[in-house]
């Protein structure tokens, strides 16, 4: 490995001069500059960032902690984060917690050890522990996607309550009055907020909500599938379903198809989360598209602001609007009478 000393030797100057030339800091004569540049090129010298980090106490590295990078929503967030980080010459370490608080905790300790400058976190639970941990080492954190109980933590997310409201109001506009909701675990704030928006839409329309129509499970295919089956089993079926995320929606869709029901002819279906163009053949679901890329990008920028000027004690919460995209999965209430299937 070639070090700054090798360069200094070849250029016939001290290591300090090399350092100054490389970092464009301080003075250096034109002659010295040229000789150093030549030596650097000749040796193929690349400064050792680790040594630099040890000296400067900054790693120019941030971490993105999500539940599963395989979820398209988080993937797009990751891309937003990466683009913002590149602009500021920072690297990004990604980790997946699989929604496990234990794993999250383990990872945060590792990341702290690695001296990351900041953390973008999609919290696996609603504990304050991770924030205490990070604060104990003075590592700034920005929470993405989820609302959190902890005070004094910056957040960037989509407005879940308003988004759910828009989706359900759309259904009500189509004439639906019995509308089911399938949401995630109530320990995750988004699951709660989306139900809140759903309930407010019903209330505003003068519809009393039937607790039997609200189901909670994991934000997963199997969760959506299971709860949709349950809903199909109850006495007076709803005519529409609001799914709290894309996985739940696909699970529900599967259950509907298995039951021989057509969407939207027999049942309307709307959901949170759109898929990026290119990941779907022909968009079909009426969705509330979250600005995932922006959540990532702005989250990272908020973090960089903290890193550069830590003297800004005020907490910041950025709530981005979602976009209602009406497609073919939502339609008018099916006419009563004999079911249209044989």
Q: How far apart are CA 111 and CA 141, in angstroms?
A: 12
Does 247 engage in binding with a second copy (CB under 8 A)? yes
The tokens describing 323, both together, are 């976009």
Q: How far apart are CA 256 and CA 228, in angstroms?
A: 7
Query: Smallest distance from the beta carbon of 36 to DNA, in angstroms?
Result: 9
Q: Which does 271 bind (CB under 5 to 8 A by kind): DNA, a second copy, none?
A: none
Does 16 engage in binding with DNA (CB under 7 A)? yes
Q: How far apart are CA 222 and CA 250, in angstroms?
A: 9
Q: Which does 144 bind (CB under 5 to 8 A by kind): DNA, a second copy, none?
A: none
CB of 109 or CB of 315, closer to a second copy: 109
CB 148 within 8 A of CB 212: no
> Which one among 34, 38, 42, 56 touches DNA, defined by CB under 7 A?
56
CB 286 within 8 A of CB 253: no
Question: Cα dihedral sign for 277, 280, 285, 291?
Answer: negative
Does 20 engage in binding with DNA (CB under 7 A)? yes
Q: Which stretch binds a second copy (CB under 8 A): 28-36, 65-73, 123-131, 207-215?
A: 65-73
Nearest to 64 by CA among 102, 97, 100, 113: 97
Task: Please list every residue from 30 through 49 that binds DNA, using CB under 7 A.
Answer: 31-32, 47-48
Q: Which does 317 bind (CB under 5 to 8 A by kind): DNA, a second copy, none?
A: none
Q: How far apart are CA 129 and CA 100, in angstroms?
A: 13
What b-and-e string marks burial along 155-183, b requiring 16 or more CB atoms within 10 Å of the CB? Answer: bbbbbbbbbbbbbbbbbbebebeebbbbb
Query: Smallest distance from the beta carbon of 297 to DNA, in angstroms?
Result: 28
List residues binding DNA (CB under 7 A): 1, 3-5, 13-17, 19-20, 22-23, 25-29, 31-32, 47-48, 51-52, 54-57
Q: Site residues (CB under 8 A) for a second copy?
A: 1, 44, 46-51, 53-54, 59, 61, 68-70, 72, 75-76, 78-79, 82, 91-96, 109-110, 112-115, 136-137, 220-221, 246-247, 250, 253-254, 257, 275-282, 284-285
């Amino acid at each position: 490995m070639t070090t700054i000393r090798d360069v200094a030797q070849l250029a016939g100057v001290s290591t300090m001069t090399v350092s100054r030339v490389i970092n464009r800091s301080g003075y250096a004569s034109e002659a010295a500059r040229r000789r150093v540049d030549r030596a650097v090129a000749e040796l193929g010298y690349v400064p050792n960032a680790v040594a630099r980090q040890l000296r400067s106490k900054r790693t120019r590295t941030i971490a993105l902690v999500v539940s599963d990078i395989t979820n398209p929503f988080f993937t797009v967030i990751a891309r937003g984060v990466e683009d913002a980080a590149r602009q500021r010459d920072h690297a990004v370490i990604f980790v997946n917690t699989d929604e496990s608080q234990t794993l999250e905790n383990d990872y945060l300790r590792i990341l702290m050890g690695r001296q990351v400058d900041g953390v973008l976190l999609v919290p696996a639970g609603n504990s304050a522990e991770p924030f205490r941990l990070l604060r104990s080492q003075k590592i700034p954190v920005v929470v993405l996607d989820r609302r959190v109980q902890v005070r004094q933590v910056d957040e960037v997310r989509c407005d879940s309550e308003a988004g759910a409201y828009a989706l359900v109001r759309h259904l009500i506009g189509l004439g639906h009055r019995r509308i089911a909701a399938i949401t995630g675990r109530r320990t995750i704030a988004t699951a709660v907020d989306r139900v809140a928006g759903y309930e407010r839409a019903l209330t505003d329309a003068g519809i009393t909500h039937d607790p039997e129509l609200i189901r909670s499970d994991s934000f997963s295919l199997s969760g959506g599938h299971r709860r949709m089956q349950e809903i199909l089993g109850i006495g007076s079926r709803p005519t529409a379903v609001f799914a709290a995320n894309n996985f739940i929606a696909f699970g529900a869709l599967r259950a509907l198809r298995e039951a021989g029901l057509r969407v939207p002819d027999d049942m309307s279906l709307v959901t949170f989360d759109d898929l990026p163009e290119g990941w779907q053949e022909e968009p079909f679901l009426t969705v509330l598209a979250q600005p995932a890329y922006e959540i990532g990008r702005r989250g990272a920028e908020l973090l960089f602001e903290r890193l550069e000027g830590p003297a800004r004690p005020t907490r910041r919460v950025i709530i981005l609007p979602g976009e209602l995209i009406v497609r073919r999965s939502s339609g008018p209430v099916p006419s009563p009478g004999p079911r249209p299937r044989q």
